[in-house]
């Protein structure tokens, strides 16, 4: 299997749009990397540059150590799957899967037949080779599209929103299935999605894209827990974000004045007093205090920081939502802020209208650039 490297890749379309503004990444052999970001941020253009459907305006693309920047798609040895499956409607499933191998001209009929059977087993659809595409469900057609891409044993698999047109349940099943197949054959994979949940659950690493650039590249846990920017924090998962100014830095902790509340956060990125910053707190990092009254000594009416390095907010639950294994609470603090808190299901009986206090430890508050 093979790695993929992009160095300084830029793409300006003929109309003048600079869709990709210089991206660098080394994708290891066998790695599953997801390009995730909002619509129009340049994900598909980056993927198409790897596939060879677009030539970069600047920079280079290497696959398996060979420069392919200007090589046409058929010389790159990649398999691609699109959102709309793109199966050939007039061909049987067998013919669809065999297509790439037939086009190569390097295989005997016996080899092709054996490989098609192997691929049908891999995607767990044995015996459908004689059917036409419209005799399969959407999810089954997408598995066949995957089998077709994998049949010629490409060096890398490139997936452009392949699950986007499936309903939620099927989509979740296919996420697991796709990952199983990818790991089983150990193929280097680049996956494009604007669905942050999908990116977080499937990937070895994510590249979060914004306006033609990679904002952050890293394993899902790291990008989620340790976002480099306000954009990444906001785009991936739910984030409580407090904008403010650093009023002091002491013993490795920054005190951030956010107007209605002073938040203590582990000092990062060399912040110093006077810097504008944003404090990111993930909803599951808040804890309910036993009762609002018990915190009267440490919290101001609008929330405050106690000596133990936690910040406490008091307010009222306005909304409660069951998410299955967890429960999401929306709080309005006494200073009028909206806070989202997530706790494990069954852990407490609080509900709308209840007065509560929630606390967050300084080490669970992440500073990012404002």
Considering beta carbons, is residue 94 or 194 the nearer one to ligand ATP? 194
Q: Which two tokens stand for residue 220?
A: 């899902």
Q: Measured between alpha carbons, how far apart are the two ends of the chain, in Å?
A: 41
Cα torsion angle, 190, 203, 167, 148, sign: positive
Provide CB contacts within 8 A for 24, sequence distance 6+.
6, 7, 8, 9, 214
Name which of 232 and 327 has its Cβ closer to ligand ATP.
232
Q: Does 15 bind ligand ATP (CB under 6 A)?
A: yes
For 322-369, the DSSP string reads E-SSEEEEEEEETTS-EEEEEEETTS----TT-EEEEEEEGGG-EEEE
Among the listed residues 2, 43, 217, 368, the single contact to ligand ATP using CB under 6 A: 43
- Stretch near ligand ATP under the rule CB under 6 A, chosen from 42-50, 67-75, 167-175, 267-275: 42-50
Tokens 């690493």: give the residue. 205
Instruction: Return the closest-CA partner of residue 159 out of 8, 35, 7.
Output: 35
Q: 17 or 347: whose CB is closer to ligand ATP?
A: 17
User: Nearest distance from residue 207's CB to ligand ATP, in Å?
Assistant: 12
CA distance 370 to 185: 43
Binding letters toward ligand ATP, positions 152-191, x by CB under 6 A: ----------------------------------------
Question: Does residue 325 touch ligand ATP according to CB under 6 A?
Answer: no
Q: Is 282 among the residues that bind ligand ATP (CB under 6 A)?
A: no
Three-class SS state of 88? coil
Options 35-43, 104-112, 167-175, 241-249: segment touching ligand ATP (CB under 6 A) = 35-43
Stretch of 9-17, 129-137, 259-267, 284-292 lying at the interface with ligand ATP (CB under 6 A): 9-17
Q: Which of 6, 9, 19, 208 binds ligand ATP (CB under 6 A)?
A: 19
Task: Give yes or no for residue 262 binding ligand ATP (CB under 6 A).
Answer: no
- What does the longest C-alpha to C-alpha distance in the chain come to? 81
Instruction: Give the phi and the psi of residue 325 in degrees, each rounded to 5.
Output: -80, -10
The correct pick among 30, 40, 59, 309 for binding ligand ATP (CB under 6 A) is 40
Pick the closer one to ligand ATP by CB: 17 or 114. 17
Inter-helix orientation angle 93-104/138-150, to 10°: 20
Query: What does the binding site for ligand ATP look like in residue numbers (CB under 6 A)?
Result: 13, 15, 17, 19, 37, 39-45, 194
């Amino acid at each position: 299997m093979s790695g993929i490297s992009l160095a300084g890749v830029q793409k300006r379309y003929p109309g003048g749009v600079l869709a990709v503004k210089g991206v660098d990444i080394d994708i290891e052999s066998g790695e599953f990397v997801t390009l995730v970001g909002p619509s129009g941020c340049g994900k598909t253009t980056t993927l198409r540059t790897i596939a060879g459907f677009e030539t970069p305006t600047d920079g280079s693309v290497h696959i398996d150590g060979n420069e392919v920047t200007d090589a046409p798609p058929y010389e790159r040895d990649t398999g691609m799957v699109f959102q709309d499956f793109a199966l050939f409607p007039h061909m049987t499933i067998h013919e669809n899967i065999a297509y790439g191998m037939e086009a190569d001209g390097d295989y005997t009929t016996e080899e092709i037949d054996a490989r098609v059977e192997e691929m049908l087993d891999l995607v767990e659809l044995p015996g459908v080779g004689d059917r036409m595409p419209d005799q399969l469900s959407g999810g089954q057609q997408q598995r066949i599209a995957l089998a077709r891409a994998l049949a010629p044993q490409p060096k890398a698999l490139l997936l452009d929103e392949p699950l986007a047109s499936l309903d939620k349940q099927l989509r979740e099943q296919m996420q697991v299935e796709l990952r199983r197949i990818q790991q089983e054959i150990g193929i280097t994979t680049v996956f494009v999605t604007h669905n942050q949940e999908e990116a977080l659950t499937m990937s070895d690493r994510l590249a979060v894209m914004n306006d033609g650039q990679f904002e952050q590249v890293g394993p899902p846990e790291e990008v989620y827990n340790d976002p480099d920017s306000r954009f990444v924090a906001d785009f991936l998962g739910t984030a409580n974000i407090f904008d403010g100014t650093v009023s002091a830095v002491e013993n490795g902790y920054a005190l951030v004045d956010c107007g209605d509340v002073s938040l203590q956060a582990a000092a990062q990125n060399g912040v110093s007093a006077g810097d504008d910053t944003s404090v990111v707190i993930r909803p599951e990092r808040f804890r309910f205090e036993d009762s609002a009254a018990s915190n009267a000594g440490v919290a101001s009416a609008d929330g405050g920081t106690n000596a133990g390095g936690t910040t406490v907010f008091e307010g009222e639950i306005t909304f409660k939502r069951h998410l299955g294994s967890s429960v999401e609470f929306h709080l309005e603090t006494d200073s009028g802020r909206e806070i989202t808190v997530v706790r494990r299901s069954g852990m407490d009986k609080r509900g709308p209208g209840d007065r509560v206090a929630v606390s967050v430890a300084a080490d669970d508050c992440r500073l990012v650039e404002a």
